[in-house]
Structure 1
Amino acid sequence: MTTRGHAPDGEDIPSLADTSALREPPATARGARTRAALVAAARVVFERDGYLDSRLTDITAEAACSTGTFYTYFAGKEEIFQAVLEVAQDDMLHPGMPRLDPEDSSPVDVIEASNRAYFEAYKRNAKLMLILDQVAAGDPGFREVRRRRSRAFADRNARAIKDLQDRGLADRTLDPLMAARALSGMVSRMAYYAYALGEDHPLDELVETSTTLWANALKLDRNAR
């Protein structure tokens, strides 16, 4: 069992970033450093000013480089935004969930670890998550990418729930996909209110509440292995 924030290695989760238009990485170490500085600066500006109000001159000022240097690496704001997503999405997709010993871990232990990793990753990327909503509101193509990613995560969690049902550990009357969508969506909205909107909820409280709701909804025994 995993939740939205962690995907097993090799799982086919659609990329959040459209890298098809990005240029080849710089051939020199200096070029790579300059490009990385621009991407880091762009994230600072996007998160500070919002995507719509961000200007290339603000990005170049933050990176302490010229507009001409910017155009050496990127065609415009849309392209560097995709580069920001390319860097950030690995943290959002693989937030560092600890390895658990299957023999000593119950399904609830795994859900708890997954939830904690998701909340921690969301907190690190909360400002960027707000930007994603802003971009999606005006870009149908980006909305479709997010929809496909959401479906991929839901399908993955549905398979995990179905496995628990087949093993007699979870409520077999639940539709796995609908349960996955409801429970994963709950965790996502809890993270949104806590970190994107800035409500003051301790991490441990978020983890404990979300994990208890997962376990209760699926009728899981906390001690079952």
Structure 2
Amino acid sequence: MAKSALLRDPPVTERGARTRAALVTAARTVFERDGYLDARLVDITAEASCSTGTFYTYFASKEEIFAAVLEVAQEDMLHPGMGRVAPTDDPYAVVEASNRAYFEAYQRNARLMGLLEQVASIDPDFRELRRLRGAAFIERNARAIADLQQRGQADPELDPLLASRALSSMVSRLGYTMFVLGFGDDEPTPIDDVVYTATRLWANALRFPLS
């Protein structure tokens, strides 16, 4: 996946990497607590127990460290997915495992995903970062769909990339509405129900036997 212009190369020393990681962890705490607009660099450095000078050794701005926080969340959410299940497994189980891992990661990172949506609406750099994030999911799922087609377990007439765009968008938006917006429900929908519904829709769309 292409890298956002907001992200710089990581430190080369172990000590530098630890300090940067501590700043990113502190920043996540502050962003999730205060929101993006109200978060201040002084609060981040206080949370990390470091000086402002140390902050500027690793990051040029609040935008840069927010991008670094999102990068960590991206690594959590861009799980191996379908690749975690052996190719000989039931395709329904493959998709179910992928969806479950995605939704569980979305729950863990829901506050950040909500902040990304807000910031992307006003900042073109974060809009591009969100686009790159979406493209990574789409490309991964397109490869998985193509693999299922090659093994005779998915509709061969579907364009794998276009099918992935449609299905990945559905799953991503479902995660946002369920875990960020809450959908206005009095009680949260059990994640098992979310996984089942998304997986059933994938299975029906790709036309392979249900388990």
Q: CA deviation at 1:189?
A: 1.5
Structure 2 match to 1:125: 109
Q: Which has the higher contact order (CA 8 A, sep 6+)?
A: 1
Structure 1 spans left out of the alignment, 5+ residues? 1-12
Aligned length: 207
Output the amino acid matched with 2:164: A
**Aligned equivalent of 1:41, options 11, 15, 26:** 26
Deviation of 1:34 after TM superposition, in Å, equals: 3.6
Is residue 57 of structure 1 aligned with residue 42 of structure 2? yes
Note the 1:50-129 alignment, pairs <5 A.
Answer: 50-94=35-79, 99-103=84-88, 105-129=89-113
User: 1:170 aligns to what?
Assistant: 154
Distance in structure 2 (CA, Å) of the matches to 1:141 and 1:186: 24
Q: What is aligned with 2:126? A: 142
The one-letter code matched in structure 2 to 1:222 is L
Q: TM-score, normalization: structure 1?
A: 0.78
**Structure 1 pair 17/203, CA: closer, same or farther in 2 (3 Å)?**
farther
Aligned Cα root-mean-square deviation (Å): 2.7
Relative to its length, the structure with more helix (as a share) is 2
Q: TM-score, normalising length from structure 2?
A: 0.82
Conservation of the 8 A alpha-carbon contact between 1:97 and 1:117: no
Q: CA deviation at 1:207?
A: 0.9
| Matches of 1:75 and 1:67, distance apart in 2 | 11
The one-character-per-residue Cα deviations of 1:127-154 (angstroms, maximum 9, x if unpaired) are: 1111211221122233234324423432
Show the counterpart of 2:209: 221
Structure 2 CA distance for partners of 1:14 and 1:202, relative to 1, 3 Å = farther
Check the 8 A contact 1:17/1:86 in 2, yes or no. no
The unaligned stretches of length 5 or more in structure 2 are none
